[in-house]
């Protein structure tokens, strides 16, 4: 269960592709803090060769146990919201659909390593930076570094000496 959450809208850009096997590319470009839920993709902007959609509203959840990741993200020159996208299931769906968002770069890396999802970082808006920093300030606890002690190597490989 999340210790804090806020609704965010995920903005996806559809851009015409020069790739002969792809008509369009679909990329998250921004988030909308406090967005209301939507039933279908809503076009919010367009230009020559591209369109932007409010594709989905997701709950951005923060957990007390992940403050180290949030803290690291917030220390970067440009903190990011990581948007996780899965391949669209239905004919006519976008190639990828947003399914999750996180502020923890370690969680995002786990999704990216699976190979089943695409993960893109988008700039974190000032309102989310303030909210996340307040959460980190309230819940982060520095963990002292604990060096592991070396164990003696068991040369017998776990085998007992033969009985005589």
pLDDT digits (tens, 9 = 90+) for 60-102: 999 999 999 999 999 999 999 999 999 877 656 667 899 999 9
Per mean pLDDT, which range of 13-27, 93-107, 135-149 is the poorest?
A: 135-149
pTM of the entire structure?
0.83
Question: Nearest CA to 27 among 97, 102, 128, 126?
Answer: 97
Which of 51-55, 66-70, 154-158 has the lowest average pLDDT? 154-158
Q: What is the pLDDT of residue 81?
A: 98
pLDDT beyond 70 at 155: no
The CA distance from 79 to 70, in Å, is: 9
**Rounded CA separation 37/31 (Å):** 13
């Amino acid at each position: 269960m999340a210790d804090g959450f806020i609704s965010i809208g995920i903005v996806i850009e559809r851009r015409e592709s020069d790739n002969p096997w792809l008509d369009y590319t679909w990329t998250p470009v921004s988030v909308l803090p406090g967005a209301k839920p939507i039933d279908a993709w809503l076009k919010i902007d367009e230009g020559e060769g591209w369109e932007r959609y409010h594709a989905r509203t997701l709950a951005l959840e923060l957990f007390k146990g992940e403050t180290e990741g949030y803290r690291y993200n917030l220390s970067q020159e440009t903190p990011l919201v990581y948007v996780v996208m899965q391949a669209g299931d239905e004919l006519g769906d976008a190639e990828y659909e947003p399914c999750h968002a996180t502020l923890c770069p370690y969680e995002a890396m786990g999704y990216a390593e699976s190979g089943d999802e695409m993960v893109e970082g988008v700039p974190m808006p000032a309102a989310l930076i303030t909210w996340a920093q307040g959460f980190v300030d309230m819940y982060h606890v520095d963990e002292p570094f604990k060096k592991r002690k070396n164990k003696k190597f068991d040369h017998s490989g776990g085998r007992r000496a033969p009985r005589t």
